Amino acid sequence: MGGLHVERKKLMAKFVEIASEKMGKDLETVDEENTFEELGFDSIDVIDLVMFFEDEFALRIEDEEISKIRKVKDLIDIVIKKLEEIDDEVSEG
């Protein structure tokens, strides 16, 4: 469980980095409970953000999962789930 907490912190930092550097968003204060709407992201921004995470971590987030993303937490949860699935496949393989 401790490792997962560190992972969340790393993903949160990566989110802020991507949003700031690649998308030009100025996020002085952001936490997982913020909605993307509150942060000034539209649906295209969210898709772009998902694509950056997919490229960064070599994973695939399905369209139906993207449609459920409303808060920063939702995106972080999906990325963690995908990373765990990849880790499980590697462990089993």
Active site residue 55: no
DSSP state of 20: I
Name the active-site residue from 26, 42, 74, 77.
42
Going by C-alpha positions, the residue among 67, 81, 61, 69 that lies closest to residue 35 is 69
Burial of 34 (0-12, 13-18, 19+ CB in 10 A): middle
**Catalytic site residues?**
42
